[in-house]
Structure 1
């Protein structure tokens, strides 16, 4: 009964009427493939993949349609099937998420299909639950983890985003041996979100972050100690546009904030009233008539105007960016390798500290060299 759309609908409705107590008789599964495999994706091959997928997922002996969709760069199809099979038995969807992962991996391996290159390229807006929740949790952990040195700190930050952290404890010692994350009654083990987010791997990240923070504090203390003590305090407070800043204004600027100065003197003699702020190392000041806290679209993020101006000037900037529709914020480090670059680089840790660490880890080979002064051979 598939001669027309109406026939298909009537046939489906008739079979579904045999189990009126089932509230959700329709099963819907999209299968998406990598753009790299687009040349191989003929209609026949995609139908073959869809049918093998259904067999592995135990979607059998029932009505179904397979629809190819061409509205994205990824070749993909939709399987719509009747959960009431031809013998009026219900096709279960329990644990189909975990089974789906195994089946997709099996098909990719069997036909040498392309695996995705990381979670960054996944289009979140096109996901349905539970995938949408999984990626929300993954993105939140990625954003917050660089600022945490303990599991309690991470738990507290995730709680602000509505994400619950649940621990699995050892029966004998009550020590934490596993971790899960949940949102809107959907939960995943840490390793299911990403292998990097198992409890064991998270502990390693906390230890790294603690070392980075300690080194940062040591560097700050060293800089304070190296400042000349006999230098007049008035010389340490700069003036901008002929206006000497107050200690209170300097405190705001050093903390990454901004101030508003009226009647600053320009080089041409005219006056200017505007907002003023610095980069995080107080090397250069910036002036703008627009509120620096105004959010503007720049690259893939929507960030504050002051952060955009810092990045464009070539400074490493811990930017405040809108996260998940603007209700929350994240703080990645953004910078340009060259000031003229069109795109900026991104890191969830301070790249300057990471670079310093690598430099310290590099062995000094010159100490191991032996210079022999003697007879020529």
Structure 2
């Protein structure tokens, strides 16, 4: 059973919508009114008990899985029970049943003001509570357990899938079928992970193998390297690690599956793979199965020689997204990336020998030396051995026809390079209108917010077709970038590969004057939800908010402008209504005790914004149809 909750201000518009749908039935509740006008008048009784309360209208739709049908009596029982367990045991409410879709469903309109005390029903964690109530109702009424409307990662087999599996198993057992039932997507993902991990690879290599096998991976990390979680998707069906089992969570992969993960070594490569996934290879599944069958070990310093298969695999791994470069430039980058992964020099040379350029051993060694010099010059991560002179390296470069300027070992080892300002990825200006259309027409963000976002270069599509949001410090200086996958259900972003990870956040300010002190702050899970909440705020105030307000996307609860926030009393923890959002809120509340949790009634604020706009549009269309009919 799926539950969708929204809150609003006006009863009459909602009641008109519920009552005037084709074949709408008023089947239950605790009110005497029999039409929208009578019910709206009756709801005024509770509103008079608390005239100062805002957003007192509560609307929830409950729908069963396809194939499950309930009669009016059962729906009334479920509606009454749901409202009581959600804390509406002394509130006015009415139940309508609609038949306009294939899914059997009801709508409940209620007042959030209690008739006994005049207080508003507490709505903290209402999404989490709703899901618990619905899961129990499914069990008690023998209904198919389905994914929550906001839990896109919580996939369960549909009724049709269950029937297919039972039918195919019976056919296989009776000899009418040559093969057993096809494994579920969940089982396929689990088996692929089990096969890809047997040689205890490093975390980036595991992710690369899964991507090659057609499994999308999402992961996030805090600044201190703590995992924010991991999820997997295949054929459009996604699962969080915990839904696959404890061994498939980010910590579980390390503890139970032997995956090697070191934040300093792996995070940059993981982010690169998330932003630039490896394409599915035809041979990927046989390759992963072969790895599992042979239990071949990725060489360590105790195993100086790599097998040909692993050489080719590692070369492919490091060359991901480098195919546009000339082979010499590509191999130069591969050597650098392998060294950044703490691969021994000899192993890097062996990887380079797999290049289509056909390097000799001496040439591969020269490429490694050049990469070491580059590290020493730019990042101070390695020091070149004293015996390697700048003239020798220049000679090696000349032999390889490499046009890369190298500093002398002395200067690179002793002088730290000056810190360079963050350079945002270049915008593809030809796609500016594409993003504007998408944000305004598909995501509900008005041009009032989109136009300055694009004009200031804070949101755009880059030349690699990534949607990029720019992070800034509190002085407005650009300090990093976030990449947004528009298909991601929770709207969370990943750090752009070349971001310097200095303090910075995507944020915008509205209301008051530019010089005014910030009086309200909303902390969100993503830039798109910060924009959505700002849009909702503007609509709620019918214009700019009355005081200076900041809307900020926080991708790491350990990276907050605490000095600023400590002196602000009105802070809303508007993170996504999911486990990660709730956990993030608890972490922030430890640092900022005055902050209050204000979770969206759905998973994200953008979903709430879109739902509100769709509901308003449906009401307008219904009125237009009514006027046309009356003529």
TM-score of the superposed pair, with normalisation by structure 1: 0.39
User: Could you say which structure has the higher strand fraction?
Assistant: 1
- Larger RCO (CA under 8 A, 6+ residues apart): 2
